[in-house]
C-alpha cells in the first residue's frame, strides 16, 4: 500500500479529473486538482450517467445525491425521426445501479464538492510540465508553479499533458456538429404530445437525443448529431437558432417540431475525436478521459469512460503505491485500453441502441469487480 506522502497533481477538474481527485483522496493520497477556468458556471447541457458510473459514485459518497437531482428513465427508446415508429426499447434498470440523466453543471458541482476543501485550485492554466526524472515541475499561466511526484492529465480533448507526451496535434474534426438546447417543461404543456424520459430520434443521416435533466422534470434537453462539412470557427461553440434547427429537421416528427418551436436558445458544437494514442503514460505523466481517448458523443459514454479511467487508475495506484507509479500506469493501461477503445469505436460509429440489443457490456460493467490483468493490452 502507498504512503500518503507523495504528491499527486491532476490537471483539469472536468468530469474525469474531479472524480479522480475525490477517489484518490478517499484512498488516502495527497492530491491537488488544478483547473484553468476561473470558476464553473451552469452552462445549458445535460449528460447521461449510466449504472457503470453510479457504481463509482458510491465510492465517493455522491451516488444518492446524484440520483436525487436526476431524472431516472426506465428505458432508452429509439424512434424513427420521421414516422415515430419504435426501433428499440432498451431497459435501463437491472445493471446494478441507477441510470441517471442530469444537468451537467449540477453534476460537476457535486463532483467538485466531493474534493477535500482547499484542494481544487481554479484559474490555474497549465502552460509547461517538466518531468526531470525525480519529480515534476508544473508551471501555470499566472506565473505560479508547483511540484508533484506524478501528474494526471485530465485536461480534455486539447490536453496540454498529451501534447507534452506526444507533440502538438489538433484533434480530428468528425464532420458532425451537435446542437444543444434546454427547454423549460412549462413550454411543452400546451402540446397534446408525450415527451418521453429518454428517447433518441433517428433520421437517415442525423439524430436528436432528448431527455429530462432534473428529478422534477422541469427541464427537457436535446442534443443533436448533424453532418456539417467543416468547422469554420475558433471557438468551442457558436450560437445556433430556431430557424437553423427548423431547416435541419424539416419534415421530422411533430414532437421534434414542438421541441424546436419551444427553443429559446440553442448552441452548436463541433464534434472532434482522435485515433487511439500509441501510449497512455510516460515517466511520471499519465492521461485519462478525453485527453486520452476522445470520441463522438453518440453513445453518451465519453465522461463515463473518463470516470471509469479515474477509478481504475486509483485502484492500480492503491495496488502499487505512488513510488511504483510505472507499474501502476502499466496496469492501468492494460486494464482500460481495450474497453475505452471499443467504446470509442462504437460511439464514433453511432449505432448504439439503434436496434434491440443488450447493453449490459456497457452498463453492467463494474470497474471494481474485474480481476486486474497484468499484461499490457497495447
C-alpha cell at position 140: 501555470
125 is an interface residue for ligand FAD by CB under 6 A: yes
252 is an interface residue for ligand FAD by CB under 6 A: no
Query: Binders of ligand FAD among 194-223, rule CB under 6 A?
Result: 223
44 is an interface residue for ligand FAD by CB under 6 A: no
Shortest distance in whole angstroms from residue 374 CB to ligand FAD: 26
Shortest distance in whole angstroms from residue 11 CB to ligand FAD: 5
Q: For residues 261 and 242, what is the distance between their CA atoms, to the nearest angstrom?
A: 7
Is 211 considered catalytic here? yes
Instruction: Out of 95, 99, 211, 363, pick the active-site residue.
Output: 211
359 is an interface residue for ligand FAD by CB under 6 A: no
Q: Is 286 helix (H, G, I), strand (E, B) or coil?
A: strand
Dihedral pair phi/psi, residue 53, rounded to 5°: -85, -40
Q: How far is CA 66 from CA 47, 183, 266, 305, 310, in A?
A: 12, 21, 26, 18, 18
Shortest distance in whole angstroms from residue 216 CB to ligand FAD: 20
Of residues 231 and 269, the one with the C-beta less far from ligand FAD: 269
- Helix, strand, coil percentages for the chain (3-state, nearest 5): 30, 25, 45
Of residues 258 and 310, the one with the C-beta less far from ligand FAD: 310
Instruction: Decide if 13 contacts 157 (C-beta within 8 A).
Output: no
Dihedral pair phi/psi, residue 55, rounded to 5°: -60, -30
Is 48 considered catalytic here? yes
Shortest distance in whole angstroms from residue 323 CB to ligand FAD: 26
Q: Is 19 helix (H, G, I), strand (E, B) or coil?
A: helix
Give, as one character, the DSSP assignment of residue 324: G
Query: Binders of ligand FAD among 273-302, rule CB under 6 A?
Result: 289-291, 297, 300-302
Of residues 175 and 254, the one with the C-beta less far from ligand FAD: 175
Q: For residues 154 and 160, what is the distance between their CA atoms, to the nearest angstrom?
A: 10
Q: By CB under 6 A, name the binding residues for ligand FAD.
A: 11-17, 34-37, 47-48, 124-126, 154-156, 160, 178, 180, 223, 269, 289-291, 297, 300-304, 306
Q: Which residues are catalytic?
A: 48, 211
Amino acid at each position: 500500500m502507498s504512503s500518503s506522502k507523495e504528491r499527486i497533481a491532476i490537471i483539469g477538474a472536468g468530469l474525469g479529473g474531479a472524480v479522480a481527485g475525490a477517489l484518490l483522496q478517499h484512498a488516502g493520497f495527497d492530491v491537488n486538482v488544478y483547473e484553468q477556468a476561473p470558476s464553473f458556471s451552469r452552462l445549458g447541457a445535460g449528460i447521461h450517467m449510466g449504472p457503470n458510473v453510479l457504481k463509482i459514485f458510491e465510492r465517493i459518497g455522491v451516488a444518492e445525491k446524484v440520483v436525487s437531482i436526476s431524472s431516472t428513465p426506465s428505458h432508452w427508446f429509439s424512434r424513427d425521426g420521421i414516422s415515430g415508429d419504435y426501433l428499440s426499447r432498451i431497459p435501463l434498470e437491472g445493471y446494478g445501479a441507477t441510470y441517471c440523466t442530469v444537468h451537467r453543471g449540477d453534476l460537476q458541482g457535486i463532483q467538485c464538492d466531493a474534493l477535500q476543501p482547499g484542494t481544487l485550485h481554479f484559474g490555474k492554466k497549465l502552460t509547461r510540465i517538466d518531468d526531470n526524472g525525480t519529480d515534476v515541475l508544473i508551471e501555470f499561466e499566472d506565473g505560479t508553479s508547483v511540484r508533484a511526484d506524478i501528474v494526471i492529465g485530465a485536461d480534455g480533448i486539447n490536453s496540454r499533458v498529451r501534447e507534452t507526451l506526444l507533440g502538438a496535434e489538433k484533434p480530428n474534426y468528425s464532420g458532425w456538429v451537435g446542437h444543444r438546447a434546454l427547454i423549460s417543461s412549462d413550454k411543452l404543456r400546451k402540446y397534446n404530445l408525450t415527451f418521453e424520459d429518454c428517447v433518441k430520434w433517428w433520421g437517415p443521416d442525423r439524430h436528436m437525443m432528448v431527455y429530462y435533466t432534473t428529478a422534477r422534470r422541469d427541464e427537457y434537453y436535446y442534443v443533436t448529431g448533424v453532418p456539417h462539412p467543416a468547422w469554420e470557427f475558433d471557438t468551442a461553440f457558436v450560437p445556433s437558432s430556431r430557424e437553423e434547427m427548423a431547416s435541419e429537421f424539416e419534415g421530422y416528427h411533430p414532437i421534434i417540431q414542438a421541441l424546436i418551436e419551444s427553443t429559446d436558445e440553442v448552441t452548436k458544437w463541433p464534434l472532434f475525436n482522435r485515433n487511439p494514442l500509441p501510449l497512455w503514460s510516460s515517466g511520471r505523466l499519465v492521461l485519462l478521459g478525453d485527453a486520452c481517448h476522445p470520441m463522438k458523443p453518440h453513445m453518451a459514454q465519453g465522461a463515463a469512460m473518463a470516470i471509469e479511467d479515474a477509478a481504475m487508475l486509483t485502484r492500480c495506484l492503491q495496488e502499487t503505491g505512488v513510488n511504483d507509479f510505472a507499474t501502476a500506469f502499466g496496469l492501468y493501461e492494460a486494464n482500460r485500453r481495450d474497453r475505452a477503445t471499443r467504446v470509442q469505436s462504437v460511439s464514433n460509429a453511432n449505432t448504439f441502441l439503434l436496434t434491440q440489443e443488450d447493453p449490459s457490456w456497457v452498463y453492467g460493467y463494474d470497474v471494481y469487480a474485474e480481476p486486474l490483468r497484468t499484461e499490457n493490452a497495447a
